[in-house]
């Protein structure tokens, strides 16, 4: 994890940066923007909070159907409760409404048990593969690439005789999509299909008023 002085923040000082490159060029001409619209969206990755996914898809369906048709990759952020309340919900919202979907990712907060649980491994498989967000992602077709980065904050406790420090950890899961001819009836989540990284032994001192905590819902 970053040191406190280097930690990222959404409080960006000053005005937003001036657009450069192709983006800046398309802003200068409506015709050019129209002609490059499909190409730009086919190569873009859209990032949004999972709680707004239904409204966003509804808006695209009603006002920008061509953009919805060209959508390829989506990254969802925020707390995983917006996804895990119904494990099939994520695939229903994305896979069933976005015909050209190639990849979906999740980057956000997960329950600490999937990072700091005492049973660090389930047999030979990391415990994070049993997390609710991983189960939700398994609803996607094996043709679609799936990436998960879960962040956990284990809050320290005061046991009277000793203070337990806060703990932060991350797990990353990557399941690469396969062409139709390479699926061979599998689920796409066999051990050889999935890459997993776990960083679950990192301790850091954390003040009660640490600036990063304001971005972490309690």
- pLDDT tens, the chain, 218 aa long: 445 455 455 455 667 677 777 777 777 888 877 777 777 777 788 888 888 888 999 999 999 888 888 889 999 988 777 776 666 778 888 888 898 999 999 988 888 877 776 544 445 567 888 888 888 888 888 999 999 998 887 776 666 665 666 777 888 999 999 876 555 556 788 888 899 887 765 555 556 666 666 666 55
Q: Two tokens at 89? A: 């919900």
- Per-residue model confidence (pLDDT) at position 22: 73
- Per-residue model confidence (pLDDT) at position 173: 92
Assign 187 to helix, strand or coil: coil
- Per-residue model confidence (pLDDT) at position 120: 47
CB 212 within 8 A of CB 2: no
Round to the nearest angstrom and report the end-to-end CA distance of the chain.
20
The pTM score is 0.76
3-state secondary structure 66-121: HHHHHCCEEEEEEECHHHHCCCCHHHHHCCCCCCCCCEEEEEEECCCHHHHCCCCE
């Amino acid at each position: 994890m970053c040191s406190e002085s280097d930690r990222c923040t959404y409080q960006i000082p000053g005005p937003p940066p001036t657009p450069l490159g192709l983006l800046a060029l398309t802003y200068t001409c409506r015709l050019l923007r129209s002609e490059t619209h499909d190409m730009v969206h086919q190569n873009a990755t859209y990032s949004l909070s999972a709680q707004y996914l239904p409204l966003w898809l509804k808006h695209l369906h009603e006002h920008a159907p061509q953009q919805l048709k060209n959508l390829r990759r989506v990254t969802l952020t925020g707390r995983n409760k917006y996804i895990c309340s119904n494990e099939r919900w994520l695939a229903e919202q994305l896979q069933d409404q976005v015909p050209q979907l190639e990849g979906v990712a999740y980057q956000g907060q997960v329950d600490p048990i999937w990072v700091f649980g005492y049973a660090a491994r389930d047999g030979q498989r990391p415990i994070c593969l049993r997390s609710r967000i991983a189960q939700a992602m398994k609803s996607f077709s094996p043709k679609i690439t799936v990436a998960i980065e879960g962040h956990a904050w284990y809050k320290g406790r005061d046991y009277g005789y000793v203070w337990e420090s806060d703990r932060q950890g991350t797990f990353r899961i990557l399941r690469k999509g396969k062409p139709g001819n390479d699926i061979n009836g599998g689920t796409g989540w066999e051990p050889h299909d999935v890459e997993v990284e776990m960083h679950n032994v990192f301790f850091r001192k954390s003040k009660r008023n640490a600036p990063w905590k304001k971005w972490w819902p309690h």
